């Protein structure tokens, strides 16, 4: 058994290694080393915990068995999961962190002596507060992530589920959680503890159901943040530095990502959380729909345009992921490059279903990361480019966001695709995008619509090049 | 009067939020997905608490209600740790720089 001070220092070391793990992600070159630091930090934390408990009894063997079982499931998933399913995977992982936090809190509540927190029914006040906050946030993370997972997986409809009195109901539940924590701390009643958990599970569920499919980038980031705060709450209970540091890191990381996502959609955080976006706007757009002429073409026309271009910018979106067109796209780009055509990729912050989703898909298709640019980096280049190839993106290219103050997406940063000499827009039909509004880009003089499945169209273009 | 150790932990917590704030802003947007999967993995350091919980049973009776919850938490956190780090590794391995022209 090692001394408490000694193990505290090692927990600090592992906390620092976790900071370095995130620091490594500032560039792809240092990122792999960062991941290694993260793994090292985790090994140190687990090893120190074993050493500090000092009991290598039969319980120890069961701990190893459960680590092994969980670890092999995790490793199996990590190797099998397709990159298009990353949002679901991350949502699923969040739910596990949340549930683990709940379980640890339950265990600490039932057997506080094992954690040095006092006796059952006489848990130290501070620990009880920390424990109940950790448990409540963990429960919200769990049920919220499960809903997010079901929505992303398509098991549950991605459209927002709203009902009358939703917001007052949520407000009442949130207030009751605070009241329950207060009562729990003053009475130490285990019944209140179970009620608190049940109510927290419920609010997590209710908070996520009104949020629509395309708002998922915000939701996932937000749940990422919650899972961090839950871990920090448990960290305070256990007086564990590694857990407190990590919780704070993850909590602020998720919060920043949510902020970036909200900014990418020009919507306030509360606007997203209150939900219902997409459901209300659909009606207004269908009524005002008028027939406007569009130019449509085939793969041959597209190939002709691109062959005569000297620079092409590709704008991928969620539709590319759905159609699994990223590999076909890269083959097309390879052919273009052989003809000495300059190609780059433009990625909008909210393209895809989670932050950075498009980048991973392109990386998977062997697209070098230095050909992929963010909105601010590339937006001025559209004016000088010959062809913009929009594949699976829609709302993020809509010029209405800059011109029409009436539009629900007015003010959202968009890619200036229309400034290109010509625009090729791959889409299955003229249906409006997620925001439920018509894209003005379809009707521009220089736009050629390519109505087809993204993957098939890309392959056909490659053949014609 | 002595300072409550809680205050020290709170200081660590607050300062870590600031560290997190600056570190995460420096993460390049193209690596935001790996960022999420790695934060997933590291927040599963909660396994530390799960292990303490799992070992809370005495030598005659390894399984009591409290330790069973601990064991489940260990399995959940382990899924996350292995899954999170490995999938991050897998993603990061795909990020490649442009190859030099063969000409």
Summarised one tens digit per residue, pLDDT across range A389-440 is: 998 888 888 888 888 887 777 888 888 888 888 888 888 877 776 666 778 8
- Inter-chain residue contact A75 with B82, CB threshold 8 Å: yes
Q: What is the mean pLDDT of residues B15-35?
A: 93
pLDDT recorded at residue A434: 66
Q: What is the mean pLDDT of residues A60-65?
A: 88
Of B42, B57, B86, the CB nearest to A21: B42
Runs of H (alpha helix) within B26-64: 32-43, 47-54
A48: nearest Cα among B52, B6, B43, B8: B52
CB atoms within 10 A of CB A272: 20
Q: What is the mean pLDDT of chain A?
A: 86
A44 in contact with B at a CB cutoff of 8 Å? no
In the set A395, A416, A438, A440, the catalytic residue is: A395
Percent of chain A with pLDDT over 70: 94
A368 in contact with B at a CB cutoff of 8 Å? yes
Asked whether the beta carbons of A340 and A448 are under 8 A apart, the reply is no
- Inter-chain residue contact B20 with A101, CB threshold 8 Å: no
Return d(Cα A269, Cα A277) in angstroms, integer. 12
Distances (CA, A) of A339 to A302, A333, A335, A462: 15, 10, 7, 12
**Å between A332 CA and nearest CA of chain B:** 17
Return d(Cα A232, Cα A406) in angstroms, integer. 43
ipTM topping 0.85? yes
A28: nearest Cα among A415, A450, A363, A410: A363
Q: What is the mean pLDDT of residues B3-30?
A: 92
A354 pLDDT band, cuts 50/70/90, is confident
Asked whether the beta carbons of A237 and A107 are under 8 A apart, the reply is no
Return d(Cα A54, Cα A39) in angstroms, integer. 23
- Inter-chain residue contact A90 with B40, CB threshold 8 Å: yes
A41 in contact with B at a CB cutoff of 8 Å? yes
Q: What is the mean pLDDT of residues A374-388?
A: 88
Is residue A287 scored above 50 in pLDDT? no
Is residue B79 scored above 60 in pLDDT? yes
Is residue A56 scored above 70 in pLDDT? no
Q: What is the mean pLDDT of residues A323-342?
A: 88
A18 in contact with B at a CB cutoff of 8 Å? yes
Is residue A465 scored above 80 in pLDDT? no
pLDDT recorded at residue A275: 64
Is residue A199 scored above 80 in pLDDT? yes
The residue ranking higher by pLDDT, A282 or A349, is: A349
* Residue count (chain B): 103
pLDDT recorded at residue A278: 46
Greatest mean pLDDT among A18-32, A118-132, B62-76, B85-99: A18-32
A207 pLDDT band, cuts 50/70/90, is confident
Q: Considering the entire predicted model, what is its pTM?
A: 0.89
Interface test with B, best of A42, A81, A239, A263 (most B CBs within 10 A): A42
Q: What is the mean pLDDT of residues A191-215?
A: 88
pLDDT recorded at residue A353: 81
Catalytic residue status for A395: yes
pLDDT recorded at residue A307: 84
Search chain A and give the residue with CA nearest B67.
A107
Please list every residue in chain B whose beta carbon sits closer than 8 Å to the beta carbon of residue A364: 94
pLDDT recorded at residue A306: 87
Provide the chain A residues 65-94 that lie in CB contact (below 8 A) with chain B. 66-75, 77-79, 81, 83, 86, 89-90, 93-94
A372 in contact with B at a CB cutoff of 8 Å? yes
């Amino acid at each position: 058994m090692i001394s408490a001070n000694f193990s505290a220092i090692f927990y600090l070391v592992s906390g620092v290694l976790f900071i370095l793990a995130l620091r490594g992600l500032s560039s792809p070159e240092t990122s792999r080393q960062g991941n290694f630091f993260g793994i090292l930090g985790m090994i140190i934390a687990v090893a120190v915990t074993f050493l500090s408990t000092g009991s290598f009894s039969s319980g120890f063997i069961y701990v190893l068995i459960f680590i092994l079982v969980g670890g092999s499931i995790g490793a199996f998933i990590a190797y099998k999961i397709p990159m298009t399913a990353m949002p679901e995977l991350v949502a699923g992982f969040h739910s596990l962190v949340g549930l683990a936090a709940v379980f640890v809190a339950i265990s600490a509540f039932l057997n506080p002596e094992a954690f040095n927190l006092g006796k059952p029914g006489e848990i130290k006040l501070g620990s009880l507060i920390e424990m109940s906050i950790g448990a409540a946030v963990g429960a919200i993370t769990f049920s919220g992530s499960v809903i997010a997972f079901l929505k992303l997986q398509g098991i549950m409809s991605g459209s927002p589920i709203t009902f009358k009195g939703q917001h007052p109901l949520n407000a009442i539940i949130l207030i009751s959680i605070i009241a329950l924590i207060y009562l729990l701390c003053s009475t130490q009643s285990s019944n209140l503890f179970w009620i608190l958990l049940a109510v927290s599970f419920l609010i997590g569920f209710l908070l996520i159901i009104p949020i629509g499919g395309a708002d998922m980038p915000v939701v996932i980031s937000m749940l990422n943040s919650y899972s961090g705060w839950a871990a920090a709450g448990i960290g305070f209970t256990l007086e564990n530095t590694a857990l407190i540091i990590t919780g704070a890191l993850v909590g602020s990381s998720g919060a920043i990502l949510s902020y970036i996502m909200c900014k990418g959609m020009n919507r306030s955080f509360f606007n997203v959380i209150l939900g219902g976006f997409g459901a209300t706007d659909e009606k207004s757009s269908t009524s005002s729909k008028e027939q406007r002429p569009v130019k449509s073409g085939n793969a041959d026309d597209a190939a002709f345009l691109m062959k005569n271009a000297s620079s092409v910018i590709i704008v991928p979106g969620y539709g590319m992921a759905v159609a699994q067109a990223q590999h076909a796209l890269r083959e097309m780009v390879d052919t273009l490059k052989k003809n000495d055509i300059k190609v780059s990729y433009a990625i909008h912050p909210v393209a895809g279903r989670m932050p950075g989703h498009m980048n991973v898909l392109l990386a998977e298709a062997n697209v070098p990361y230095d050909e992929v640019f963010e909105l601010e980096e590339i937006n001025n280049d559209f004016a000088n480019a010959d062809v913009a190839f929009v594949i699976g993106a829609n709302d993020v290219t809509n010029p209405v966001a800059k011109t029409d103050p009436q539009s629900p997406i007015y003010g959202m940063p968009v890619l200036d695709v229309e400034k290109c000499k010509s625009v090729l827009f791959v889409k299955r039909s003229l249906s409006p995008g997620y925001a439920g509004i018509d894209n003005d880009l379809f009707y521009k003089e220089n736009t050629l619509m390519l109505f087809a499945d993204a993957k098939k169209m890309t392959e056909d273009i490659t053949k014609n090049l | 009067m002595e300072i409550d150790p809680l205050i020290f932990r709170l200081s660590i917590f607050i300062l870590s939020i600031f560290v997190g704030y600056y570190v995460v802003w420096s993460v390049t947007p193209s690596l935001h997905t790996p960022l999420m999967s790695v934060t997933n993995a590291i927040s599963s350091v909660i396994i530390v608490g799960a292990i303490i919980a799992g070992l809370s049973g005495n030598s005659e009776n390894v399984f009591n209600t409290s330790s069973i919850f601990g064991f489940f938490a260990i399995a959940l956190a382990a899924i996350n740790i292995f899954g999170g780090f490995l999938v991050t590794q897998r993603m990061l391995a795909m990020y490649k720089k442009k190859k030099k022209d063969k000409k």
